[in-house]
Amino acid sequence: MASALPPEWLVFVRLRATLRQSVKTYSKHARVSASEFYNWILSLIFLRVLASQSKLMRVVFLLSTIFLLSSLVFGCAGRSGDQALLSDKGKLQHKGERDLVMLSPSLSAPSEPPLSEFLARGGKQGFSDSKGSLREDGLLSRSAQHKALALQEILRKRKKVSYKRDGRLVIGLLLPKERFPALSNRMEQAARFALTRDSNFSSVDLFVRDSGVTASHAQRAAARLFSSGADIIIGPVFASQSNPAALAATKSRRPMISFSNDSDVRGDFTYRFGLSVGEQTAVALADGLARPTKAFSEDVSRKRHVGSASDDWAKFGSRVAIIAMSDTYGRLVVSEGNAYLRSRGLSAERVDFLDKNLSYDVVDGQIRHISEYDYRQLALSKYRKHLRSERASVGELSLTAQSIDDELKLLEKQDTHGPPPFHILLLPQSSRETLQVVSSYLALYDIDSYNVNIYGLSTWGQMSKLWREPQLRGSRYVFPVRANLADFTSRFHSYLGSSPPLHILAALSYDATFTAALLGSRAGFVTRAALERKEGFVGAAGKFRFRPDGDVQRVYEIREITSQGDKTLARRQKDFLR
């Protein structure tokens, strides 16, 4: 049946297949291969034979010849420029271009998203110049896009791509650019800002890679960065990605500073740079165990207890309760809190987990139970009855009668009698809505900062204007030193030229990058011994130091919520806990 087809049809069938492949190659690499060139010549011969018989064939022959010649011209330019593209350790330079483009290591990945996103968005993409400063000044020309695509193909075929230059420090930054682009962008800007803080940092190169969505993506990204010459990696952000990436750090025997605070993240060359939950919990509980509540102090002043408030508090004020969410973070806080209390010979009196769905009826029942509200309400009724009976047995004008009348008047404003079943309450909520719900029910069942020392962790410090919540006034929370953060925020906003809200991770990104550059800008590498120096470092999030076990210790301060806003207390951690 094929022999019955006219010769023009056979030519078009062959030409269609060749044209499809050639156009695909031309659009991606700006050149044709030898086999495609052979197919074109063969097709042109057929077309030339038929051109004398049909005007249509003559037009097709002319167009095909023009397309082949243009492909040859650009193909020669692409092949002759391969060496130029790879010269000067990955820099692209072209006359007439506005931008000097330093290709990120992401171009070495067969299916890496940043380049495709760059083209899909019309070429808008920030690249870094030789000094590491971020450039975002418009579209790259089409020729620069063709060069980037051509170089991507070349780098795919190479066994190893090195971005390491003699005497220069290479820092790799792993961020969740696909999952959290806004946060990643702010963290990258903070890291680049850190490299502008010292003239010696001009010898530092920063390469940013997407940690992807899964753990395997992060592991591959870390492995590529190390194989490309990274001396140290900062990131990933999440614990689920940090452990696989730590394997790449151990294999390369180079340090990795993860933003995770999960103690399960471990590796011989890996450090957990996130705000340690265990350390924050220890600071909060230590302050609560040393501070009598206001109600307790007033009882002592009325001679209800013998001795000073501090002495009596050491005997009685050691009952701790924790109300946490039933998620990974909440269970981690409970685990770390119990570990600290055991080291003090204590244990948590009550631990309750709230479901993430926050059913109001369930929360109401849980807090009513943990506060022993019904028992304390019954105690109030019995105490009033006892005072009235005692009042009836004394004379009207006696001092005892006057004292009992004052006591009864005071009890009219109360719903319960007696202290709650705990003296210290830890609320490690990370959501403002959850904290509002929990604190409202606590106030409803007569638990507030008057009769209980209420504490939060650093997640409270990232919630704005907590002083507007009346039920939280008098509560305290643990946070990095605010003065350092305020100074960093001011300088960073001046660098950006705007005042966007900042996540604490931006400050940590700045600190990690600045520390790595400080230690390695002269030597061209960073060692574990240099990171683990005993005196530590001072950064945007306060004083910190790396420990051999991978922990990062910090100096925190305790802040109290007042009606005028948050204030730093005079009682503050002066140095590392251990």
Q: Is residue 326 part of a domain?
A: yes
The residue-averaged pLDDT of 218-230 equals 92
Query: What does the alpha-carbon distance between residue 387 and residue 375 come to, in Å, rounded to a whole number?
Result: 18
**What is the tens place of the pLDDT at every residue in 517-540?**
999 988 888 999 999 999 999 999
Q: Is residue 124 part of a domain?
A: no
Query: 3-class secondary structure for 327-382?
Result: CHHHHHHHHHHHHHHHHCCCCEEEEEEECCCCCHHHHHHHHHHHCCHHHHHHHHHH
Q: Is residue 449 part of a domain?
A: yes
Long-range pairs for 326-335: beta carbons < 8 A, 24 or more residues apart: 326/353, 326/354, 326/355, 326/356, 327/356, 329/277, 329/428, 329/430, 330/354, 330/428, 332/262, 332/263, 332/277, 333/277, 333/281, 333/426, 333/428, 333/457
Q: Which two tokens stand for residue 326?
A: 């039933």
Query: What is the radius of gyration, based on Cα positions, of the chain?
Result: 34
Encoded amino acid at 120, one letter: A
Strand-pair partners of 542: 539
The residue-averaged pLDDT of 543-564 equals 91
Q: Is residue 337 part of a domain?
A: yes
The residue-averaged pLDDT of 31-55 equals 61
Please determine, for residue 544, whether its predicted confidence score (pLDDT) is greater than 90: yes
pLDDT at 568: 78
Q: Is residue 217 part of a domain?
A: no
80, 98, 116 - which closes a domain: 80
Query: What does the alpha-carbon distance between residue 150 and residue 163 come to, in Å, rounded to a whole number?
Result: 18
Q: Is residue 137 part of a domain?
A: no
CB 368 within 8 A of CB 438: no
pLDDT at 296: 75
* Cβ atoms < 10 Å from Cβ of 186: 21
Mean pLDDT computed over every residue of the chain: 76
The full DSSP string for 442-474 is HHHTT-STTTSEEEE-HHHHTSTTGGG-GGGTT
Query: What does the alpha-carbon distance between residue 306 and residue 300 come to, in Å, rounded to a whole number?
Result: 7
Q: Is residue 295 part of a domain?
A: yes
* Cβ atoms < 10 Å from Cβ of 576: 15
**What is the tens place of the pLDDT at every residue in 105-133?**
333 333 334 434 433 343 333 333 333 33
Please determine, for residue 570, whether its predicted confidence score (pLDDT) is greater than 80: no
Q: Could you give the percent of the chain with pLDDT greater than 90?
A: 32
Domain that residue 359 falls in: 278-380+411-480+561-568
Please determine, for residue 513, whether its predicted confidence score (pLDDT) is greater than 50: yes
Strand pairing of 476-480 and 453-456? parallel
80, 103, 121 - which closes a domain: 80
Q: Which two tokens stand for residue 231?
A: 């001396």
**What is the tens place of the pLDDT at every residue in 423-479?**
899 999 988 889 999 988 998 888 888 888 999 999 998 888 888 888 898 999 999
**What is the tens place of the pLDDT at every residue in 171-191?**
999 999 999 999 999 999 999
Q: Is residue 52 part of a domain?
A: yes
Q: Number of folded domains in the chain?
A: 2
- For CA atoms 94, 97, 102, 103, the dihedral sign is negative
Q: Which two tokens stand for residue 525?
A: 């590498």
pLDDT at 395: 66
Please determine, for residue 218, whether its predicted confidence score (pLDDT) is greater than 60: yes
What CATH number is given to the structural domain containing 367?
3.40.50.2300
pLDDT at 316: 63
Strand-pair partners of 559: 477, 568
**What is the tens place of the pLDDT at every residue in 57-71?**
677 777 777 766 665
80, 111, 138 - which closes a domain: 80
Q: Is 548 helix (H, G, I), strand (E, B) or coil?
A: coil
In the chain, what's the furthest Cα-to-Cα distance? Answer: 135
Kindly report the backbone phi and psi dihedral angles of residue 367, in degrees, each rounded to the nearest multiple of 5, phi listed first: -75, -35
